[in-house]
Chain A
Amino acid sequence: MKTLTAVLALTVALGGLAACGSSGDQTQAGSATASASAGAEPDSTLSQPAPQQVPPPVREKISLTAGKAAVAGNEADVVRFKERIVYRFEADENRPSKVNCAEDCLIVWPPLLTDGTPVQLSGVDTNLVGTVTRADGFTQVTLDGWPLYLFKNDQSPDDTLGEGVGGNWSVVRPDGKPVVKK
Chain B
Amino acid sequence: MYYTNMFRGFAVVAGAALATGLLSGLAGTANAAPGDVPPAKDRVIQPQGTKNLLVPTGANAGARIVAKPRIGQAQDTPESQVWTFDNSKKFDQNGKPISGGVSFVFQPTFGKPGVRALCIDVVGDSKQAGAAFELRPCDGTPSQVFVRVGDVQVPFVQNVLSGLNMEVQANGAVVQQPFVGRVPANATPAERQALQARNNAQHFLLSPKAFGVGGA
Q: Which residues of A contact B (CB under 8 A)?
A: 1, 4-5, 8-9, 12-13, 15-20, 22-39, 41-44, 46-55, 89-91, 100-105, 107-109, 152-153, 161-162, 164-169, 181-182
B207 at the interface (CB under 8 A from A): yes
B212 at the interface (CB under 8 A from A): no
Contact A32 B105 (CB under 8 A): no
Contact A16 B153 (CB under 8 A): no
- The residues of A that contact B25 with a CB separation of less than 8 Å are 16, 19-20, 22-23
Provide a sorted-by-A list of 20 A–B residue pairs whose CB atoms are within 8 angstroms: A8-B17, A16-B17, A19-B22, A25-B208, A27-B40, A27-B102, A38-B150, A42-B182, A47-B179, A51-B162, A52-B92, A102-B125, A108-B139, A108-B142, A109-B140, A152-B91, A164-B33, A166-B139, A167-B117, A182-B113
Indicate with 1 or 0, residue by residue over B10-22, a CB within 8 angstroms of chain A CB atoms.
1001100110111
Given contact pairs A104-B161, A105-B141, A166-B139, enumerate 19 new A-B contacts (beta carbons under 8 Å).
A13-B20, A15-B21, A16-B22, A23-B37, A29-B152, A32-B148, A34-B149, A42-B199, A46-B156, A48-B179, A51-B161, A54-B125, A103-B125, A107-B93, A107-B141, A165-B140, A166-B117, A167-B105, A167-B111
B127 at the interface (CB under 8 A from A): yes
Q: Count of A-B contacts with CB under 8 A?
A: 229
Contact B91 A38 (CB under 8 A): no
Contact A30 B14 (CB under 8 A): no
Contact A168 B137 (CB under 8 A): yes
Known contacts A42-B199, A153-B95, A167-B111; A27 and B43 CB within 8 A of each other: yes
Stretch at the interface among B50-58, B70-78, B81-89, B167-175: B81-89
B60 at the interface (CB under 8 A from A): no
- The residues of B that contact A46 with a CB separation of less than 8 Å are 149-150, 156, 179
- The residues of B that contact A28 with a CB separation of less than 8 Å are 206-207
Which of A9, A27, A31, A153 has the most B CB atoms < 10 Å from its CB? A27
Nearest neighbor of B117 in chain A, beta-carbon distance: A167
Indicate with 1 or 0, residue by residue over B97-121, a CB within 8 angstroms of chain A CB atoms.
0011111010000110110110100
